[in-house]
Chains A and B, each alone.
Chain A
């Protein structure tokens, strides 16, 4: 798997993991440590990725969503 794809999915996972913690992280933390990097990954995919890359990312996100459903 390409680094940019793996990293985008991992970034999304990091965001999900923060919803499972025993405390509520600050909005600043979510923004700076997860959302801004996630947006930068999207930008890179749009700029230099392929449609297949985008599809792989959506599939990866979907796998993470399945895991999230198990917990909720």
Chain B
């Protein structure tokens, strides 16, 4: 109760407002609500006076609170927040990608070389409506040449015979590769990383790779 009165007093003196401002400053667009809670908890523990800490431990165990903070911080560090520059991950059904939009067209060119489809069908969302397009392989390459911007920035479902690529636009891609050998799946992922400027050879079938700023981080 005394602690609450003390905090209330500080609030009236503007100190609490100042604290909030600091926390708010740290909470960038990339910070989630849970991150704000962790930061707030850490900051609260750091800022409490000895008297306030004594008051708090009457209500709850201090070491328990400290353990809670450490646990929360470790979860926060394990879970990176925001949108990476480059990402590739092996999924149950194929591969998941995040690519710079300008690399999408080149990647699709390489992809058709691996999948060698006879027919390519596109279901494209544009200007609030949907378009259906169908091409033999050669014509698709020509289409890619002139429609890079459309494919890179709009939602599209692209069927390469029985394989399907979903593009949310902006380089957000998901590829189903059911029945494709693990070695080929790895090669496609490696090809993707090479196109994005981060060549790497995976040694295992389960993998993910991510670039936040410039460094490639790989998990296998």
Contact = CB atoms under 8 A, between A and B. Distances in A.
Are A and B physically bound partners?
yes
Contact of A32 (B121, B123, B157, B170): B170
Interface in A17-60: 17, 20-26, 28-29, 32-34, 36-37, 40, 44
Contacts of A23: 79-82, 84, 87, 210
B130 A14 contact: no
Given A7-B157, A23-B81, A34 B168 contact: yes
Interface residues of A, number: 26
Given A3-B157, A22-B219, A24-B32, A10 B166 contact: yes
A40 B87 CA distance: 26
B140 interface: no
A22 B208 contact: yes
B125 A37 contact: yes
B174 interface: yes
Contacts of B82: 23-26
For A7, A14, A23, A44, which residue has the most chain B Cβ atoms within 10 angstroms? A23
A3 B79 contact: no
A6 B165 CA distance: 12
B29 interface: yes
For B91, B130, B208, which residue has the most chain A Cβ atoms within 10 angstroms? B130
Contacts of B168: 11, 14, 32-34, 37
B92 A22 contact: no
Given A7-B166, A21-B96, 5 more contacts: A3-B123, A6-B164, A7-B130, A32-B168, A33-B172
